[in-house]
Structure 1
């Protein structure tokens, strides 16, 4: 789908970087600060904050500042692939899940790469064992950067090879 189909001007005057990225309701993304393994993510405008499936979440202090250790399990239906991560804690927030339950989650700042574009996002750490996707990308991470076609998937690229 072209930018013009989405209703955005393509008159040559607008820079390609200023054009919103057209994405589907699910996309392959990367978190270059955490892992080189692509992650299948659900695009969820109903969620304010993005979330990643994390295990063994441990808070600790380094030079008086809050940090967190955790494991990413980036491959869907595969708990053997584990990525050990250590990051500063950016925030701590109450998050209301889709079933209405409120939990306190740690928030880290990292970079998201989608279709060659990279931008900073806030990411909550949560166990997503029962969810269909290891990562959920919320509206704050998408704001002013993307247009979503909810009827399509993987508009930025198909599933990568074996991971």
Structure 2
């Protein structure tokens, strides 16, 4: 192991994530090094163009919300993404800032129906790469308020 890896912040297998440009904060996320691409529970409403740049408007509907939140983000691509069940789906990919702990950075996130999943956001290895080290035996390492609520348990 290089000395550089020791300098990276450590995340547990679940953390709270913030997507400030989308108006989303404190979203429980599963940290998943088995997934290449990060994914957000969202349903695409429409594509639009502003100042020559492509955007996508989508609805984010988490179980604890009274009504869906309508968001817009830069639309990067439509890609074939292979899900955990082995099936490839065509998904919209957006680019937006993400914050985990004190770190904020721009990421690509696919929009998918995650209504059957426990976590509305999955953070994949492309997002984690060169930013974090994962300790899968713990939770909420970058989320002190959750660690306190959960009693420091993994």
In 1, Cα distance between the equivalents of 2:133 and 2:29? 16
> Which of 59, 63, 80 is equivalent to 1:94?
80
How far the C-alpha of 1:62 sits from its partner, in A, is: 4.3
Q: Mind listing any 5+ residue stretches in structure 1 that lack a counterpart?
A: 1-6
Partner residue of 2:109? Answer: 123
Note the alpha carbon deviations across 1:66-88, whole angstroms, 9 max, x for none. 32111123x4x324243211222
- Whole-Å Cα distance in 1 between the matches of residues 106 and 74 of structure 2? 15
Distance 2:134 2:101 in 1: 14
Equivalent residues, number: 145
Q: Distance in 2 between matches of 1:22 and 1:80?
A: 33
Which residue pairs with 1:147 in the alignment? Answer: 133
- In structure 1, which of residues 23, 39, 42 is the aligned counterpart of residue 11 of structure 2? 23
Structure 1 equivalent of residue 150 of structure 2: none
Please say if 1:34 is aligned against 2:14: no
2: CA distance, partners of 1:143 / 1:23: 12
Matched position secondary structure for 1:90: strand
Q: How many angstroms apart in 2 are the aligned matches of 1:64 and 1:25?
A: 39
Q: Distance in 2 between matches of 1:112 and 1:66?
A: 20
Rate the CA distance shift 1:100–1:36 in 2: closer, same or farther, 3 A.
closer
Q: Which residue in 1 is equivalent to 2:58?
A: 70
> In structure 1, what is the Cα distance between the partners aligned to 2:10 and 2:41?
25
Give the TM-score taking structure 2 as reference length: 0.83
**Residue ranges of structure 2 left out of the alignment (5+ in a row):** 148-154
2:118 and 2:10 mapped to 1: Cα distance? 22
Specify which structure has the higher proportion of helix.
2
- TM (norm. structure 1) is 0.79
The aligned counterpart of 1:159 is: 146
